[in-house]
């Protein structure tokens, strides 16, 4: 017996399975390319690396934003979870530091996530809602840490963007040493955010062997 489209049930099941495989392959490839190159990878390049036609890609993901939000859905959810865990910590300064450290660590291993964190997704209500929830939670952490005298009083919510931008710059310039360089930078930044003498400074992570040639992209002599 044929379906309304004239396709046998077994054949229809095969088509659905093939569509699922294509979709999963597109997401897998996009995730890898975004992590390596950022969000500017052409859709045609995603299709080519996934072994599907551009038309197939656009059937599954009509816009670049729809592909990006699907690729980073788990990371956005993880950010919300990190903030929720930090809010449950009885020590607001520790919770504040945990959010900065974990989000920056996520940035350090995925260039695409760095861009996705600050990108606008007007058509993706769930993503925008999750990000707003995470930001509200971070604002509450900030308030608590200031209130008990652990975080310097002049820290502003917009400074979170500043920290993420600094971390993003480190990541872009340091390639394979990015995670270690990021950890050291974050340790410096958090030490600078402590209210003076409020908490003993933690030892910095080990230094990372970096060259100014790497930072400025100039050729080595």
Convert the pLDDT of each residue in 45-55 to its tens digit: 999 999 999 99
Q: Are the C-beta atoms of 111 and 167 separated by less than 8 Å?
A: no
- Provide mean pLDDT across the span 13-19: 68
CA distance 192 to 207: 17
What pLDDT does residue 220 have?
44
Q: Name the CATH superfamily, with its identifier, for domain 9-71.
A: Tetracycline Repressor, domain 2 (1.10.357.10)
Per the model's pLDDT, the better-predicted residue between 89 and 38 turns out to be 89
What is the residue extent of each domain of the chain? 9-71, 73-207
What contacts 24+ positions apart, CB below 8 Å, involve 195-202? 195/149, 195/150, 195/151, 195/152, 195/153, 196/152, 198/93, 198/149, 198/150, 199/93, 199/150
97: exposed, middle or buried (Cβ count in 10 Å: 0-12, 13-18, 19+): buried
Q: Are 215 and 173 in contact (CB under 8 A)?
A: yes
pLDDT at 120 over 80: no
pLDDT tens-digit profile of 78-94? 888 999 999 999 999 99
pLDDT band at 210 (very low <50, low <70, confident <90, very high): low
State the CATH class of domain 73-207. Answer: mainly alpha
């Amino acid at each position: 017996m044929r379906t309304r489209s004239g396709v046998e049930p077994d054949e229809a099941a095969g088509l659905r399975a093939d569509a699922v495989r294509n979709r999963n392959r597109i997401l897998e490839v996009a995730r890898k390319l975004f992590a390596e190159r950022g969000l500017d990878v052409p859709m045609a390049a995603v299709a080519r690396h996934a072994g599907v036609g551009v038309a197939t890609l656009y059937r599954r993901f009509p816009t670049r934003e729809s592909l990006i939000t699907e690729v980073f859905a788990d990371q956005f959810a993880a950010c919300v979870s990190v903030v929720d865990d930090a809010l449950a910590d009885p020590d607001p300064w520790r919770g504040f530091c945990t959010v900065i450290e974990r989000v920056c660590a996520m940035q350090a291993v995925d260039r695409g996530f760095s861009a996705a964190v600050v990108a606008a997704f007007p058509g993706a209500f769930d993503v925008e809602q999750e990000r707003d929830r995470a930001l509200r939670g971070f604002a509450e952490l900030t308030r608590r840490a200031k209130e008990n005298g652990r975080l310097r009083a002049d820290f502003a919510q917009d400074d979170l963007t500043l920290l993420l931008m600094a971390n993003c710059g480190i990541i872009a310039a340091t390639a394979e040493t990015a995670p270690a360089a990021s950890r050291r930078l974050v340790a410096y930044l958090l030490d600078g955010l402590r209210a003076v003498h409020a908490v003993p400074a933690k030892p910095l992570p080990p230094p990372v062997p970096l060259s100014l040639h790497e930072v400025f992209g100039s050729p080595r002599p």
